[in-house]
Structure 1
Amino acid sequence: MARYDRKAAILFKLQSAAGVDAAPSGAANAVLLAGPPKITPLNSSNIKRDLIRPFFGGSEELIGSTYVQVELAVEYVHSGTSDVVAAWDPLLQVCGFSARAILATPNRVEHNLLTDYDTWKLGTMYYHDDGVLHKLLDCKGTFSLKQKIGATPKIMFKIMGLDGGIVTASNPVQTLSAWKLPQAVTDANSGALVLGGAYAAGAITGGTEYVSDGLDFDLGNALEFVDLLGTATEPGQSVDVSDRAGKSKLMLSLTAAQEVSFMAAVKACTTQSIGLVHGTASGYKMLTYLGQAQLINPTKENIKGRRMIGFDVNVNPSSAGNDEVKLVGL
């Protein structure tokens, strides 16, 4: 019987401790996928035997330690209610964000980076592939945000986990009501890109608005599979994040005077904030705020004959640390 690529389902749940299968369910932990996911089901460090014999020919490879990697996308939209957490929050937490903060005046949910890496959350993922279940344990990850004009706003996750086994299993019945309908990134649905503004209480104030093609952001976690010999009390294998370096890209429509000013700022290594609010309805809006952005590598771009100026962007922490990015559901 044929099996189909689109008959996929992913469940994800935070673990109580390392090595403990969180047993996610279709009723409580289903992920609404925004496009086909991709799995590397057996990423192993194969070891060549390199046998020498009196004839040509290869030899077997020994299968070393293994881990599993999954890439998936979800839609970047709030929960439908200003002070209710979005369904994608557990995935965010295994990427190094703290448990969401539910705040008032106005009602909102803030997602901030962890300040204590020892409290980094781990997760269990069940990847159902039309009759086959792949289990990933002790998951950590990274992500990129996509908010470009004319597209669906998305969070693109890369999740790495220890190999929890593979079995035959029917796809689960999923409850997906917590996942909400986003708005396309358009001039009518998205606020202006703001450079140099300050964030406070669910709003960006001050700064200068610019015509742009939207905002992308890459968290830039350095994911590592660590393979050591463990003990009776401490496992040797783990997924670690060894560093983080946020990146972004901008394309702006600038006046001649603005282009000259931006070029001077690039040469002076100036940093400034970048902010964008997407969405028009309460409960469905997301604010993205990059606090310390350095524009580099200016380029001349063309959109339907319009002169645009492109920049690569380094997204760095302040002297306080762990504050490169803030995501706020409104």
Structure 2
Amino acid sequence: MPRRIKNTIVTAKVETTVGTDAAPTGAANAVLVSDATVTPLDAQSIDRALIRGSFGGSEQLVGPASVKLSYSVELAGSGAAATPPAWGALLQGCAVAEGLLTTPARVEYTPVSSGLKTLTQYYYDDGLVHKLLASMGNCTLSAKVGERPMLRFEWTGLDGGIVATPNPTGTFTAWKKPVAMTKANVIDITLGATYAAGVLTDGTIYNSTGLELNFGNTVNFTPMLSTEVVDIADRQSTATVEMELTAAQEAALMVKVRANETQSLGFTIGTASGNKVLIFAPAVQLTNPRKSELNGNRLIGFDLRLVPVNGNDEWRMVCL
């Protein structure tokens, strides 16, 4: 009997002790995913390169190996401003801290460089489970016009084993419906904005096709003879935008590009309390300007480098 792709369940849970199976369950830790893929054994092959007096290859030895997992989840709030969204645990595995704040009630996610957390993840493939221990990853946020706002995760973990076992039943009530990326549901790219206590003020709003933000984590699998470790060694966050600019606006932004200037950027997805996500970056450098078009209209695209001001503050995601 064939195994079905749709019969896939992913579970994920923050580990108390790095590399110790946190045993995520379908009832408490199911992840509502799209386009999930797994690499069961991402191994370094060791060629024996034997000479036998004739042509022909040799067997290879399986060397150090990790497990890779990737999937996307919808970016939506929890339904309540002071309650972490279901994807909050996933961000913690990407060198991000979760903070519950008041006045107004909100959850803020900010990058960190120490005290990093790891996840145990189970990938159930219709009767077979692949286990990732001590997994850490990178995340890319995509919020483009006419699409769903999404978070794309790419994970590396230690091999926790593969076992034939029935799928659990997933409980997905914590995963809420996102808003569509339309005019009515966003406050567009805002350059020169100021952020304080869950509120963006000032700045200039630019008509755009949306935002793509890459956390830029450097995730390494490091095997040694006594240990195998997955860690995040660095972060260089980047983004891309395409905006509709007047001639004067384009000329002014090109002056900033040539002068290597930075400026703040804000972007807000959703309007209702409990399903509103605000993104703020205090120091963004516009680079690589390029011309594009949409239905015959001129757009100007930029790559963005998000740099820290005081450290671990190059961006924040705020759920309101």
**TM-score when scaled to structure 2?**
0.98
Q: Give the distance between the partners of 1:274 and 1:70, measured in 2 at CA.
A: 31
**CA deviation string 1:279-328 (max 9, x = no partner):** 1211001001122110011111100011111111111111x111111000
**Aligned pairs, number:** 320
3-state secondary structure, aligned to 1:174: coil
Given candidates 213, 217, 222, the residue that maps to 1:217 is 213
**Equivalent residue letter for 1:39:** V
**CA deviation string 1:196-231 (max 9, x = no partner):** 11111111111111111111100010111001122x
Q: Give the distance between the partners of 1:171 and 1:104, measured in 2 at CA.
A: 39
Q: Give the distance between the partners of 1:41 and 1:273, measured in 2 at CA.
A: 41
Indicate yes or no: 2:88 matched with 1:89.
Answer: yes
Q: Give the distance between the partners of 2:81 and 2:156, measured in 1 at CA.
A: 31
Q: Which runs of 4+ in 1 moved over 2 A?
A: none
Structure with more of its chain in strand, by fraction: 2
Indicate yes or no: 2:157 matched with 1:161.
Answer: yes
**Equivalent residue letter for 1:195:** L
Given candidates 108, 118, 125, the residue that maps to 1:122 is 118
3-state secondary structure, aligned to 2:183: coil
Task: Tell me how far 1:192 sits from its aligned partner.
Answer: 2.0
Q: Give the distance between the partners of 1:263 and 1:257, measured in 2 at CA.
A: 10
**Equivalent residue letter for 1:193:** I
**Alignment of structure 1 residues 279-298 onto 2, 5 Å:** 279-298=270-289
Contact 1:6 1:36 in 2 (8 A): no
3-state secondary structure, aligned to 1:5: coil
Q: Give the distance between the partners of 1:306 and 1:10, measured in 2 at CA.
A: 42
**Equivalent residue letter for 1:105:** T
Name 1:136's counterpart in structure 2: 132
Task: Tell me how far 1:96 sits from its aligned partner.
Answer: 0.4
Name 2:174's counterpart in structure 1: 178
**CA deviation string 1:220-249 (max 9, x = no partner):** 10111001122xxxxx10101121111111
**Equivalent residue letter for 1:186:** T
Name 1:79's counterpart in structure 2: 78
**Alignment of structure 1 residues 1-330 onto 2, 5 Å:** 1-33=1-33, 35-98=34-97, 100-115=98-113, 117=114, 119-230=115-226, 236-318=227-309, 320-330=310-320
Task: Tell me how far 1:19 sits from its aligned partner.
Answer: 2.3
Contact 1:7 1:129 in 2 (8 A): yes
**Equivalent residue letter for 2:148:** T
Task: Tell me how far 1:128 sits from its aligned partner.
Answer: 0.3
Q: Give the distance between the partners of 2:57 and 2:99, measured in 1 at CA.
A: 57
**TM-score when scaled to structure 1?**
0.95
Q: Give the distance between the partners of 1:109 and 1:143, measured in 2 at CA.
A: 18
3-state secondary structure, aligned to 2:94: coil
The alignment yields a C-alpha RMSD, in angstroms, of 0.9
**Equivalent residue letter for 2:234:** D
Q: Give the distance between the partners of 2:222 and 2:159, measured in 1 at CA.
A: 13
3-state secondary structure, aligned to 2:28: coil
Contact 1:94 1:123 in 2 (8 A): yes
Q: Give the distance between the partners of 2:198 and 2:168, measured in 1 at CA.
A: 37
Structure 2: give runs of 5+ residues left out of the alignment. none
